[in-house]
Amino acid sequence: MNKISSKMLNQSNWIQYIIFFIVIFISDDTFNFGTNGDFTYFIFKYLVYFFLTVYLLTNSNLRFLTVLTKSSLVFYLVVLSILLSAFFNFDLSGGYIYQIWLFLLAFLIVNFFTSKQFVDVYIKYIYFLSVVSLIVFVIANFSTDVFRIFPVQTNTADANVYNLGVCMVSVNQEKIRNMGLFREPGVYMIYLNLAIIFELFFKSEINKRNVFVFIITIFTTLSTAAFIALGTIFIAFLFTKSKTKASVKSKGFIIAMALIAFVVVALSGELYSMVFDKIGKDNIADGSSLARGISVLANFNIFLDNFVFGVGIKDYPGSFGKHTLDLTGFFMDVGNNTNTITTILAVYGIFLGCFFIYMLISFAKKMSNSILVRNLIFLVLIMFYSNEDLRYSLLSAMMLMWGLISRKEIEV
């Protein structure tokens, strides 16, 4: 990869934080810019993305766009797959342009930073958000009246939250869950678990304080998928092959954290029921479980009917509703969809679906030379992308593009 010169990056250190602020805070993954009913936020997001794109195009060494490498080849094939889907479905929806734009922006960003900067800045932001959201979570569980001074805003699903800017608090829910500034706790847990992956697999020395705070924050999301993903990450880390004294100590720390987590969950009947009851046999019709199952079945049926180029963005909502009606006997709108992988297959077809899986595999291969570790992390990624629809997530696009960079370039 051809990065911007280190001298320029050192002189413009603050640029790194501005770019990652945009990636994390001004994102479709957040409440404000993802599901907020106020359209002004969306206009602002597009303007910010436009100026960021122009800045990166004018201040980066753009040779990586013209030299054929694995990452540039996959990027152009991804763009071609999206365009072919639009062409063969006679669909001029703006979502195609936005999807390509996100991949372009992600490609520019991962080639703008060194990998050490990429990891370090991301972890610093998630640590800050974790501390803030933990404080808000504790206060909210005593009383939400404190937050009445903040504006109440409504998302596209008619849910009301107190908008603190850097954190959201549900107005109506009896059980407060930590969603940070994101559109829901299931999205927040992906950001948190990714930060733990970066700490454990891409840093020469693990910051135990960071890992501890991330784990506590994951607990407060009360997300079943978050717990399963976290446990899988820990198991993968324990199978890494390094035998240095620092590595042994780090593994001991992870084992201790896992045991403490197990004891806390096991002894707290209320916590256990809030997190795990929805996957029990008596709760299979729970809204969350049903949505996840239908997201797989309905999308896969759409994919089978439109194997090569997908159904297209414009016709996708109607097709999703029709197939959910056939499967369940009642109509479910596309807002119930939670699976990125099957959605990409349904909307864009087999070509983009294959490239998407290839990028996930490439990301997992960066973790270790161990096939077991790679497979476990790949499983974690599947959990991420089966838990939420992340098609329009800039961070997701960056993960996919970053996964194509060679291992030598990303060791921190």
For residue 236, CA distances in Å to 198, 231, 233, 361, 371 come to 13, 9, 5, 15, 10
Instruction: Note whether residue 297 is domain-resident.
Output: no
Residue 70's CB: how many other CB atoms inside 10 A?
Answer: 12
- Residue percentage of the chain with pLDDT more than 90: 53
Closest CA to 113 of 335, 350, 308, 402: 402
In this prediction, residue 351 has a pLDDT band, given cuts at 50, 70 and 90, of: very high
Are 358 and 74 in contact, with CB atoms under 8 Å apart?
yes
pLDDT of residue 281: 47
**Dist CA 32 CA 187 (whole Å):** 13
Question: Can you say how many angstroms the Cα of residue 340 is from the centroid of all Cα atoms in its chain?
Answer: 10
pLDDT of residue 185: 92
Is the pLDDT at 262 greater than 80? The verdict is no
Instruction: Note whether residue 377 is domain-resident.
Output: yes
> How many residues in total does the chain contain?
412
pLDDT of residue 159: 81
**Dist CA 309 CA 82 (whole Å):** 9
- Residue 193: which residues within 8 A CB-CB, separation 6 or more? 214, 218, 226, 229, 230, 233, 380, 384
- Residue 369: which residues within 8 A CB-CB, separation 6 or more? 241
Are 385 and 339 in contact, with CB atoms under 8 Å apart?
yes
- Residue percentage of the chain with pLDDT more than 70: 87
- Residue 387: which residues within 8 A CB-CB, separation 6 or more? 186, 189, 190, 223, 225, 292, 338
DSSP state of 34: I
**Dist CA 81 CA 350 (whole Å):** 9
- Residue 84: which residues within 8 A CB-CB, separation 6 or more? 309, 351
Instruction: Note whether residue 318 is domain-resident.
Output: no
Mean of the per-residue pLDDT values for the chain? 85
What residues form DSSP beta bridges with 182? Answer: 30
Q: Which two tokens stand for residue 388?
A: 């939420």
Is the pLDDT at 5 greater than 60? The verdict is no
| Secondary structure (3-state) at 160 | strand
**Dist CA 215 CA 209 (whole Å):** 10
Q: Report which secondary-structure segment, H or E, holds 377.
A: helix 371-387
pLDDT of residue 278: 57
pLDDT of residue 340: 94
Output Rg (C-alpha) for the chain, integer angstroms: 21
**Dist CA 114 CA 78 (whole Å):** 23
| Secondary structure (3-state) at 169 | strand
pLDDT of residue 243: 58
Cα-Cα end-to-end distance for the chain: 16
In this prediction, residue 268 has a pLDDT band, given cuts at 50, 70 and 90, of: low
Q: Which amino acid would we find at residue 135?
A: I
What residues form DSSP beta bridges with 234? Answer: none
Which of residues 8 and 61 earns the better pLDDT score? 61
pLDDT of residue 9: 45
In degrees rounded to 5, what are phi and psi of residue 79?
A: -60, -45
Is the pLDDT at 393 greater than 70? The verdict is yes
Which of residues 61 and 301 earns the better pLDDT score? 301
pLDDT in tens, 188-216: 999 999 999 999 998 878 899 999 999 99
pTM of the model: 0.90
Least confident stretch, 52-56, 264-268, 407-411: 407-411
Which of residues 69 and 317 earns the better pLDDT score? 317
Is the pLDDT at 6 greater than 70? The verdict is no
Which of residues 134 and 287 earns the better pLDDT score? 134
Domain range spanning residue 101? 6-279+351-409
Is the pLDDT at 284 greater than 80? The verdict is no
In this prediction, residue 286 has a pLDDT band, given cuts at 50, 70 and 90, of: low
Is the pLDDT at 308 greater than 50? The verdict is yes
What is the tally of structural domains in the chain? Answer: 1
